[in-house]
Amino acid sequence: MIPANFQYTRAGSVDEAIGMLKQHGDAAKLLAGGHSLIPAMKLRLNQPGVLIDIGSISELRYIRKEGNHIAIGGGATHDDIANSDAFGGGLEMYPQAAGLIGDTQVRNKGTIGGSLAHADPAADWPAVVIASNATIVVKGPGGERQIAATDFFTGFYETALAEDEILTQIRVPLPAARTKSAYAKFMQPASRFAIVGCAAMITSSGGTCSNASVAMTGVGDAAYKASKVENALKGKSLDSGTIQSAAAHAADGAMVMSDHFASEEYRTHLASVFAGRAISAAV
Amino acid sequence: MTYIGKSVKRVEDVRFLTGKGRYTDDIKLPGMTHAYIIRSPYAHAKIKSIDTSAAEAMDGVVAVFTGKDVAGVNGVPCGWQVNFKNGDTMKEPPHPLLVADVVKHVGDNVAMVIAESKEIAKDAAELVDIDYEELDAVADAAKAVKDGAPLVHPDAPKNMCFDWELGNPKEEVDAAMESAHHITKLEFINQRVIPNAIEPRAAIGHYESAGDKHTLYTTSQNPHLTRLLMSAFVLGIPEHRVRVVAPDVGGGFGSKIFHYAEEALVTWASRQLNRPVKWTAERSESFMTDAHGRDHVSTAEMGFDAEGNVVGLRVKTLANLGAYLSTFAPCVPTWLHGTLLQGLYTTPKINVDVTGVFTHTTPVDAYRGAGRPEATYLLERLMDTAALEMKMDPAELRLKNFIPAFDGVEQEGYMTQVALQYDSGNYHKVLERALEMVGYEDFRKEQAAARENGKLLGIGFSTYIEACGIAPSAVVGALGARAGLYEVGQVRVQPTGKVSVYTGAHSHGQGHETTFAQVVADKLGIALDDVEIVHGDSESVAFGMGTYGSRSLAVGGSAIVKSIEKIIEKGTKIAAHKLEAAEGDIEFSEGKFTVKGTDKSIGFGDVALTAYVPHDYPAGLEPGLDFSSFYDPANFTYPFGAHIAVVEVDKDTGKVSLKRFIAVDDVGNVINPMIVDGQIHGGLAQGIGQAMFEGAIYDEDGQLINGSYMDYTMPRADDLPSFEIDRTVTPCPHNPLGVKGAGEAGAIGSTPAVVNAVMDALSPFGIKDIEMPLTPERVWRAMQ
């Protein structure tokens, strides 16, 4: 449990961190809460030459309402989100999902930006940001870019983030009226990551679904938008039969993973079960 | 009694909870070096070459040792011999400190890098170039005994270490089974679990050329045994030149009983280098190299007559021993397993057949309960399954077959068909109490109503007995132990009347510093604070067999009581002299020696002072007040209990929720109820952990694929309900405290209760068995 040698530097601002990233190139790795990176380093699966600690950059740690969206700083901890009252009116799944991450220690240190940038295929946040149609704001030497959450996760631990960029903000649009959301997760019992997780945001009018946004995590190599499920809900009456038959499409098109906690067949089944539970809870 | 029977708060917890415990890894010695062990990444491979030159050249590296360097040193010995049925001795292949030729499990020791820091040692280890030729491996005991399976040791054909049989002759049992009205048969895997003590193993070797003295600090449950094994069998160092210290130890669950290669390696290396050498396991090493537990494949059949009386039991077990024989490995599946198959029942004919099997896996040895949980699992799964098959109530079926109550004093102990004589028991009482606590009749109504609503509720029973307080030396000697299993207790009264107690038992979580002090303080009529309990150092404690098999109070406590009796006897002589009375007229109580029927008395402290300042003293009596005793128990002692689990199964996911857990245990007399409750709670969590969560997984190549806390599921507080526990008290008739043992009871009884409850919940599906752990996927699959 001893990592390989590395250099440690602490950045005081986002711009300073970007400068350090540029200076050290491939050898550098950003350290936020450290709850994914440090264990990997201890097992020597990851051996960065330089750690740039962005954990104390105060300009990254906030949750605030800005016009028609909620802005979450990349440095906001899971615990910050779990205890925030900024997520009423359809974004309830944010504090709910935050409260299901790891344990108290992990929630106190781990950050949403770190989790999204790490892109663990079983992490909770990717499903939540996709389902809430969030925009990921990143900053690099060339300035700021905005990436739709649906385009952010590009594969197994892979994202659209460039090597010299920092994830600075998650911008979550305020949902339409009569919108509710929920996150449902089947936990891997040892790590408490998601074997499957489903984030669902449903807008309804008189019992009919006017809009549905559903995303899955833990199922395949990256979180994805479950479009078939959404389409099977939109315009339909939100009874349990409709929900169940829509949820049955939760793993459609995914390359479903298999491990000793859940085979491909069982995980596919769980995807439907938890899509159904998340949607039901969001109605 | 001021202290006995009271929930005195644990005196050791002050230092543990304020971070002032002193564990092996906390010890820093001048000039200390740090060792890192390079371990085999393969389950079975030939070492073609090792190049250590780059590592040796690295700054800060002190030495790199390989198998060639320790060629002159013996391997790690086994402490228990089991013979083949034909009388041949078991196969006992060498277990080298560092492997020179063929590695036999993932984690096998290959080389040791010693450096000025552990960071340097680990970095240097990456520079050691080892060329392996990978060979076929076998991890599974059932596959290992098949023709053509890869051999772990060339001189152990079919990978057999021994075969062994106990009980009534097989023909008699076969005949009983043929006469049976109904036979329940199950094939089980009692899966391999990993002990997971919170403190990883660690060892420091410290050789001092002045005095030619070797000191080993180690995370051990029995430092004296480690000293004996290491000095006499491995390193060949005279025992009086070796001191072994086991300071504060953070949990063992059996895994720290055994003498491990790393202990001998650091001791040996310290002498080579003339500097202290410290090694501390990383968590991955704990997963790979702490001796594992369980791993049985069994077929068990229980025969019943038409009324539901058990008429016979036939068990055949393959026990996976791993790649080498750990210290007590052969004893666990045989004498600690076969002998418990009587259970609480009057079964008239029992035959058990066990084959010990080598595989390319981490060695397996005693783990909390050691053999007894495996026996209990067989019996109790058979009982609930038989009840279901015969359409009888599982509680009724047990009550019908229980051995009638006996106290071991008025009524004789119960002689089993499998070599043991139970000391005392009242089995109906524990089950009846547990049924009352669970509200059995109401539960069955609730269950029926839940089923109508599509909810799967289940109840499961387990009524167990265990043999602990290990053990009469002559008995275990006859069964193959290469050691006696008595205990040593020295009571040294200081001149001021304060008392130091030296025990050969070792506390690594059990709370001996409190429980033993409660006994001593009450027996001598002094304050708890006036008693100090010393353990874990071969230099201060004369000898000891250590702590395992729920033996500390029953055996170690009894040794202390024997010494206290000698103290009081001598004190009486001194008091009689001082009080000018006849010895026979002196009585001792509440810390005072009194002339019977008078108010003439002398306090314990004054007697102690007189013993050390013997100016006015009985003629011919030695000064001092300090006695040591060896206590060799007359028998094992036999705690028992009834456990009931209530579960709900999620139909959609297969996830099991444990709703209630009731445990009524009888551990004999109780000194500290809070500590006993704690032991029961911990045991229950471990037993439930095996039923629902835990299990080592090896793949086809012998790789351990869940050797981390990201992959190996430990039970957590939020997985468990608030336990509902109670006790009955049936004293042990043969030790002076009347105590049995509480350390393993929870882990022995709880596992089958949970599995039985899940099977009860799933009975509408016609499911009879699911392999442990009962993961959601396994349960879901069974329902499909």
Banded pLDDT at B60 (limits 50, 70, 90) = very high
Long-range contacts of B71-74 (CB under 8 A, 24+ apart): B71/B100, B73/B97, B73/B234, B73/B235, B73/B264, B73/B268, B74/B233, B74/B234, B74/B235, B74/B236
Cβ distance A2 to B777 less than 8 Å, yes or no, reads no
At B414, list the tokens. Answer: 């119960």
The answer to whether position B348 is within a domain reads no
- Rounded distance between C-alpha atoms, residue A46 and residue B284, angstroms: 16
**Tokens coding B757:** 């409850």
- Can you read off the two tokens belonging to residue B685? 């969590």
Pair type for strands B293-304 and B182-193: antiparallel
- What is the distance in angstroms between the Cα of B189 and the nearest Cα belonging to chain A? 17
Query: What is the rounded distance in angstroms from the CA atom of residue B546 to the CA atom of residue B40?
Result: 31
> How far A71 CA lies from chain B's nearest CA (Å)?
32
Q: Got the DSSP string for A192-210?
A: --EEEEEEEEEEEETTEEE
| Predicted confidence band of residue A72 (pLDDT cuts 50, 70, 90) | very high
Q: Which residues from chain A sit within 8 angstroms of residue B122, using beta carbons? A: 2
Q: Are residues B545 and B685 in the same domain?
A: no
Q: Which of B484, B558, B497, B488 is nearest to B527 (CA)?
A: B497
How many domains is chain A partitioned into structurally? 3
For residue B142, being part of any structural domain is answered with no
Smallest CA–CA distance, residue A263 to chain B, in Å, is 8
Instruction: Give yes or no for a contact between B652 and A273, defined as CB atoms under 8 angstroms apart.
Output: yes
In angstroms, the separation between the Cα of residue A4 and the nearest Cα of chain B is 7
- Candidate from A189, A262, A273 with C-beta closest to B713: A189
In this structure, the answer to whether residues B763 and B623 fall within a common structural domain is no
Sign of CA dihedral B339, B345, B346, B352: negative
CA closest to A273 among chain B residues: B652
Instruction: Indicate whether A94 and A141 sit together in one domain.
Output: yes
Tell me if A25 is assigned to some domain: yes
Which residue is closest to A3 within chain B, CA to CA?
Answer: B119
Do B777 and A1 lie within an 8 Å CB cutoff?
no
> So what's the pLDDT on residue B134?
98
Q: Which of B267, B289, B311 is the last residue of a domain?
A: B289
In a domain, B458, yes or no: yes
Per-residue pLDDT at A250 exceeds 90: yes
Domain interval for residue B57: 13-135+198-251+256-289
Q: Is residue B156 part of a domain?
A: no
CATH label of the domain that carries residue A112 = 3.30.465.10
Report the first-to-last Cα separation within chain B, whole angstroms. 60
Report yes or no on A242 lying in a domain. yes
CA angle in degrees (0–180, nearest 5) for A37-A41-A44: 145
The closest CB to that of B777, out of A1, A39, A266, belongs to A266
Question: A195, A273 in Cβ contact below 8 A?
Answer: no
Residue that is last in its domain, among B564, B598, B631: B631
Exposed, middle or buried: residue A105 (CB in 10 Å: 0-12, 13-18, 19+)? exposed
Interchain proximity A1–B282, CB inside 8 Å: yes
Q: What is the CATH number of the domain that holds B741?
A: 3.30.365.10
Give the domain CATH number at B128.
3.90.1170.50
Whether residue A272 is found in the same domain as residue A197: yes
Question: Are B592 and B649 found together in one domain?
Answer: no
Count of positions (residues) in chain B: 784
Cβ A260–B123 below 8 Å, yes or no?
no
Whether B430 and B558 map to the same domain: the answer is no
Please give the mean pLDDT across all residues of chain B: 97
Whether residues A66 and A167 share a domain: the answer is: yes
| Whole-prediction pTM | 0.96
Residues A161 and A190 in one domain: no
**Closest among B679, B106, B723, B2 to B363, alpha carbons compared:** B106
Which residues of A have a CB under 8 Å from any CB of B? 1-2, 4-5, 39, 43, 186, 189-191, 260-263, 266, 269-270, 273
Element (H, E) at B312: strand B310-322
Token reading at B673: 């109820």
Total domains in chain B come to: 3
Query: Within the 690-709 window of chain B, which residues sit less than 8 Å (CB to CB) from chain A?
Result: 693, 697, 705-706, 708-709
pLDDT of B471 strictly over 90: no
pLDDT digits (tens, 9 = 90+) for B241-291: 999 999 999 999 999 999 999 999 999 999 999 999 999 999 999 999 999
* Per-residue pLDDT tens digits for B339-355: 999 999 999 999 999 99
Residue A1 lies in a domain: no
Same domain, A66 and A160: yes
**pLDDT digits over B194-234, tens only?**
999 999 999 999 999 999 999 999 999 999 999 999 999 99
Question: How near does any CA of chain A get to the CA of B60, in Å?
Answer: 15
Neighboring chain B residues of A263 at a CB cutoff of 8 Å: 777
- What is the SS3 assignment for B415? strand
Residue B25 and residue B279: Cα distance in Å, rounded?
8
- Average pLDDT for B307-326: 98
The whole-number pLDDT of residue B649 equals: 98
**Cβ contact A168:A60 at 8 Å:** yes
Q: A262, B706: Cβ pair inside 8 Å?
A: no
The helix (run of H) or strand (run of E) holding residue B532 is strand B531-535
**B546 — pLDDT class (breaks 50, 70, 90):** very high
Chain A CB contacts of B709 below 8 Å? 190-191
Closest-CA residue of A relative to B117 is A2
The pLDDT of residue B521 is: 98
CA torsion sign, B609 to B610 to B612 to B616?
positive
pLDDT bracket for residue B784 (50, 70, 90)? very high
Chain B, nearest residue to A276 by Cα: B652
Contact at CB, A190 and B118, closer than 8 angstroms: no
Q: Cβ A39–B710 below 8 Å, yes or no?
A: yes
CB contact under 8 A, B781 and A266: yes
**Closest chain A residue to the Cα of B707, Cα to Cα:** A190
Same domain? For A72 and A94 the reply is yes
Nearest chain A residue to B280, by CA: A1
Last residue of a domain, one of A53, A70, A85: A53
Whether B149 maps to a domain, the answer reads: no
Give the distance from residue A110's alpha carbon to the nearest chain B alpha carbon, in angstroms. 16
Question: For residue B315, how many C-alpha atoms fall within 13 Å in the half-sphere facing its CB?
Answer: 36
Q: What integer is the mean pLDDT of B393-418?
A: 96
**Distance in angstroms (rounded) separating the CA atoms of residues B661 and B749:** 11
Residue B91 within any structural domain of the chain: yes
The minimum CA-CA distance between B510 and chain A, rounded to whole Å, is 27
Domain check: are A138 and A202 in the same one? no
A26: domain CATH number is 3.30.43.10
Say if residue B626 is in the same domain as residue B506: yes
C-beta of residue A276 within 8 angstroms of C-beta of residue A243: yes
Q: Is B512 found in the same domain as B459?
A: no
Domain end call among A112, A140, A173:
A173
- Contact call for A260 and B709, based on CB within 8 A: no
The pLDDT value given to residue B467: 96
CATH of the domain at A231: 3.30.390.50
Which residue in the block uniquely carries the two structure tokens 């930006």? A113
The answer to whether residue A135 sits within a structural domain is yes
Co-location of A154 and A251 in the same domain: no
Q: What is the pLDDT of residue A248?
A: 98
Same-domain check for residues A143 and A169: yes
Instruction: Give me the torsion for CA of B507, B510, B514, B516, rounded to 10°.
Output: -70
Give the strand pairing for A208-217 and A194-205: antiparallel
- Residue of chain A whose Cα is closest to the Cα of B704: A260
CA distance A31 to chain B (A): 21
- Residue ending a domain, among B234, B266, B289, is B289
Which residue in A45, A257, A266, A269 has the most chain B C-beta atoms within 10 A of its own C-beta, making it the best mutation to test that interface? A266
pLDDT band at A1 (very low <50, low <70, confident <90, very high): confident
Same structural domain, B490 and B460 = no
**pLDDT for res B196:** 97
Q: Is B657 on the interface with A (CB under 8 A)?
A: no
Amino acid at B421: Q
Residues A39, A116: one domain?
A: no
Beta-sheet pairing, B414-415 with B242-245: unpaired
Percent of chain A with pLDDT strictly greater than 90? 95
Q: What percent of chain A has pLDDT over 70?
A: 100
Residues A73-112 have pLDDT tens digits of: 999 999 999 999 999 899 999 999 999 999 999 999 999 9
Residue B626's pLDDT is 98
B520 and B548 assigned to the same domain: yes
Chain A / chain B CB contacts < 8 angstroms: 44
pLDDT surpassing 80 at residue B1: no
Q: Give mean pLDDT, residues B81-87.
A: 96
Please report whether residue B598 resides in a domain.
yes
Q: What is the residue range of A210's domain?
A: 179-281
A2 domain-assigned: no
Q: Do A156 and A93 have their domain in common?
A: yes
Environment class of residue B310 by beta-carbon count within 10 Å: exposed (0-12), middle (13-18) or buried (19+)?
buried
Are residues B82 and B219 both part of a single domain?
yes
Most B CBs within 10 Å, among A6, A42, A105, A261, to test the B interface: A261
* pLDDT, tens digit (0-9, with 9 covering 90-100), for B351-382: 999 999 999 999 999 999 999 999 999 999 99
Burial class (CB in 10 A: 0-12, 13-18, 19+), B581: middle
Instruction: Write the pLDDT tens digit of every residue in A109-155.
Output: 999 999 999 999 999 999 999 999 999 999 999 999 999 999 999 99
Whether B711 and A262 lie within 8 Å, measured CB to CB = no
Q: How many of the other CB atoms lie within 10 Å of CB of B766? A: 8
Q: Is residue A78 a part of any domain in this protein? A: yes
In terms of domains, do B601 and B730 share one?
Answer: no
For residues B100 and B22, membership in a common domain is answered with yes
pLDDT band, residue B5 (cuts 50/70/90): very high
| B110 and B228 share one domain | yes
From A2, A191, A262, residue closest to B710, measured CB to CB: A191
- Rounded CA gap, B779 and B758, in Å? 9
Does residue B301 register a pLDDT over 80?
yes
Residues A152 and A207 in one domain: no
Q: Tell me which chain A residue has its CA closest to the CA of residue B705.
A: A260
CA-based nearest residue in chain B for residue A267: B777
Query: Which of A114, A140, A173 corresponds to the end of one domain?
Result: A173
